Amino acid sequence: MKAASILQTGIEKLAQAGIENPRLDARLLLEHATKLSQAEILRDQDLAISEANIKTFFNLIKKRSQHIPLAYLTKHKEFFGYDFMVSKSVLIPRPETEILVEWTRELLQNINGKKDKIKIADIGTGSGAIIISLALTLNNNDKYELIATDLSKKALFIAEKNAAKHNVKIKFYNCDLAKILPNDLDMVISNPPYLSEAELENCQLEIKFEPELALNGGIDGLSVYRNLLYQLKVKMNRDGQILLECAPSQTKEIIKIAKKVWPLCGTEIRPDLAGLDRCLRISNLC
Ligand code: GLN
């Protein structure tokens, strides 16, 4: 069978199943199944595809038709311009989370001259996308001690593989949030689970394939922020800063929790590209 007709059949099957971008997804799955690049497939529409690859492709199309996220089928996701390996044990990195990386980089420029060593921890690292992207874009790597934690050993396995693939040095800890981390952290970054149980129940079908541990923020979606901020009370340097991703509806409540932990703390909110409040910075931790 020829590439063009296989691709067309795949597109039709995905469209019938209500997949949002059937053309793009079918193309990426064909590339994945055949290990051919887009250019190779496009160059020769008459390209013959082997029986084995056709079988793999339609198998993937079947899975995608059940709304299994594309990234879990190709086992890759791009984040901050880098390629990350993903498995069903990790949340698929989202574009809005790139704000956390950008903001951290900006803040680091301000403290760079003031400290010899800067300790940065990514809590609930999942695939490691945040801390690894940060590591890849920092210039003087010796200046930073990069730490990442996750409660899930399976997630840490993926994060460690990603760190090795990108050749960056990060200390990984398997623990509940920041529990076993040192108490002199300069910067904490986290995209914790923040969907409420009701939101999780009603979320898109695709999200239901992602690990509940990475999404479920308890009854009101805030329980992980509560635990994290109370743990961080004794873990942060006084001039330290915390950057959190959150749902737009949650920022006020998280600020209330932060003020209980550090009554004098300062807070700042940043919107995502859709203009929704997505990230929160907590500083002045005394
Ligand atoms: N942004 C994710 C979503 O809405 C949730 C991620 C999280 O809970 N940290 O699907």
Q: For ligand 1, say whether the CB of 191 is within 6 Å of any of its atoms.
A: yes
pLDDT at 116: 86
Q: 76: buried, middle or exposed (CB in 10 Å: 19+, 13-18, 0-12)?
A: middle
Residue from 229, 153, 218 nearest 190 by CA: 229
Q: Is the pLDDT of residue 140 over 80?
A: no
Name the residue with higher pLDDT: 46 or 136: 136
Q: Is the pLDDT of residue 203 over 90?
A: yes
pLDDT at 141: 74
How does residue 139 score in pLDDT terms, banded at 50, 70 and 90? confident
CA of 37 to the centre of ligand 1 (A): 31
Q: Is the pLDDT of residue 255 over 80?
A: yes
pLDDT (average), residues 218-246 = 97
pLDDT at 115: 83
Cα 156 from Cα 128, distance rounded (Å): 8
Residue 156 is inside which H or E element, if any?
A: helix 153-166
Extended strands (E) in 51-199: 76-79, 82-85, 118-123, 144-150, 171-174, 185-190
The pLDDT mean for the chain works out to 95
Cα 228 from Cα 164, distance rounded (Å): 27
Q: Ligand 1 atom 9: the closest Cα is on which residue?
A: 193
How does residue 119 score in pLDDT terms, banded at 50, 70 and 90? very high
Among 79, 195, 210, 249, say which to mutate for ligand 1: greatest number of ligand atoms within 8 Å of CB.
195
pLDDT at 21: 96
pTM, rounded to two decimals? 0.95
Cα 119 from Cα 73, distance rounded (Å): 35
Residue 162 is inside which H or E element, if any?
A: helix 153-166
Q: Ligand 1 atom 5: the closest Cα is on which residue?
A: 215
What atom of ligand 1 comes closest to residue 217's alpha carbon? Answer: 8
Q: For ligand 1, say whether the CB of 200 is within 6 Å of any of its atoms.
A: no
SS3 208: helix
pLDDT (average), residues 51-61 = 97
**Domain positions in the chain:** 3-66, 80-283
pLDDT at 48: 87
pLDDT at 244: 98
Neighbours of 151 (CB within 10 A): 15
pLDDT at 142: 84
pLDDT (average), residues 112-121 = 87
Q: Is the pLDDT of residue 42 over 90?
A: no
Residue from 72, 106, 107, 112 nearest 88 by CA: 72
User: Above pLDDT 90, what percent of the chain?
Assistant: 89
Q: Kindly give the interhelix angle for 51-65 and 3-16, rounded to the nearest 10 degrees.
A: 20
Q: For ligand 1, say whether the CB of 225 is within 6 Å of any of its atoms.
A: no
Residue from 223, 197, 231 nearest 212 by CA: 197
pLDDT (average), residues 5-19 = 96
Helix ranges (H only) for 35-74 are 38-43, 51-65, 70-74
Name the residue with higher pLDDT: 47 or 223: 223
CATH of domain 80-283: 3.40.50.150
pLDDT (average), residues 77-100 = 98
